[in-house]
Chain A
């Protein structure tokens, strides 16, 4: 079973700490060098954001800002070309609403598919799962036209609804629900619970790891979505953060101090979220429909 509780624990096996220090030193040094290389671009982003424009392009390169300033941040936050805080709010609102609705919808759908017997159950499951084979680019243009017909261009509706009926979430939760022992459900039934109560009081409380995993994925997916909001939203006040930052970069092509302040501001929320969600993100990734 891919989604069993044991499965998620196997991800980081606690291996006995063996001290083979001398042999490990080259590997450790190599890892440190690689880590520095990976962090360097982000360091460069932050350090540039703290420099006045002349210092940002100074030669030789200023690794540490000689005259650190928050001027770039002030200008970005008060720029007439777009309101970063508004974009941040749009992104957060859309991502939160989408995530809650998506997880709920997937859970309610996965429940009968995992734990009830009825005609057409397996057929429907395979139809939904099979829809994952439709490349999204195929539905991009017709869905955009539908948004125009619904008058949803430049609204939150366009950013939230089209992606709500995911197949992956149904698949992930169904797999998890299957692993919950029948006895727990039967005990609740004996106490007079109906299926709705079983779902809310037995299945969902036991599925928190799977729900959180799906939630983290949905949130990150919505937050970082770029292609769809780029076209379906043109009103500067309705932009999401990734798209807003991109439009910023078209206007301030070479003012890298300001651009880096904008990208740093756009990254801070995700970096904080990442620190908190890291465990789930990594565990969820490892179980993305994979047995081994």
Chain B
């Protein structure tokens, strides 16, 4: 055997696996899109929010934090509507999140033990979630229609009551939005809970039964604590999704009556795409984005636990 073989040094010129550039070549296509559509827009957004960006004018003067300051000057309609819409969105989140977490856990518990038609029930509860938001919105708008909707029709048919104008009464307009959202998204969370319940070893319950624990005690002291990580995940993702409320209110109430159900995202998009105030809208989305960041950070932390486990 010849020992005089020249040692192969990494060759940057040839395209085979000894080329140390190979891994980077694999990463390149994604990296290009990643920079153009993820990293660059963030910086561009900062730029837009710091300039007076006018669609008709070529000049875009630097205005510094003017648009951010305007958000805290409550004499402007922008500031009033922005904070009102943020308040609306917060209200929706506060009401719907506990509802969505509790009901999906309840459903998952009902379906956890084997029962006739389990797969069927699972499919039925998941089914509404595959509908697109506009279908879901139009459907619930119809059910809660002021005069002739199903809810009002049943009230008049069976109880002889006057119809309630749900969609145009402040406060009540949230009903179709919240009920529709629960109906629409419950299956998603239920599935996550079912997966987590399936991973709980039966031996815990058997041990507890020997100690004489009843159904409630088993739920309280075994199921609930073991579900804590998934509950955290479900809660955080549901909060995140709820704060991004948009399609439901747009289709069901169009933000009305008198902006009482307008969500932040709806107002930001109105400011940008109806009023063409891109700079103002960009500033709003950064202020709102900062608030969202807390929840995204939490979700990220929960998911990162897993990524570490893999490497």
Contact = CB atoms under 8 A, between A and B. Distances in A.
Interface of A: 1-3, 10-13, 15, 17-18, 24, 27-28, 30-31, 34-35, 38-39, 41-42, 44-45, 48, 56-57, 59-61, 105-106, 108-109, 111-113, 116, 118, 121-122, 124-125, 128-146, 161-165, 167, 170-171, 174-175, 178-179, 194-195, 220, 223-224, 226-227, 231, 241-243, 245-246, 249, 254, 256, 259-260, 262-263, 266-267, 270-271, 273-274, 278, 281-282, 285-292
Of the candidates B27, B188, B265, the one having the most CB atoms from chain A within 10 angstroms of its own CB is B27
Interface stretch (B17-25, B73-81, B92-100, B203-211): B17-25
B24 A118 contact: yes
8 contacts: A42-B127, A109-B27, A129-B303, A132-B300, A134-B42, A135-B288, A245-B135, A289-B302
Contact of A141 (B23, B48, B115, B150): B48
B131 interface: yes
State the majority secondary structure of interface residues on B.
helix
Interface string B245-261: 01100110000000000
Contacts of B148: 56-57, 59, 256
Interface in B113-157: 113-117, 120-128, 130-135, 137-143, 145, 147-148, 150, 153-154, 156-157
Contacts of B230: 290, 292
Contact of A59 (B30, B153, B183): B153
Q: Say whether chain A's binding surface is mostly helix, strand, loop, or mixed.
A: helix
A60 B309 CA distance: 60
A-B complex: 3 closest residue pairs judged by Cβ atoms: A286-B195, A165-B33, A109-B30
B304 interface: yes
Given A13-B198, A18-B114, A263-B135, 7 more contacts: A15-B113, A105-B33, A141-B48, A143-B41, A267-B135, A270-B131, A282-B126
Nearest to A266: B135
Interface string B18-47: 001011101101100110011111101100
A253 to B, nearest CB: 9
Given A109-B26, A116-B23, A59 B157 contact: yes
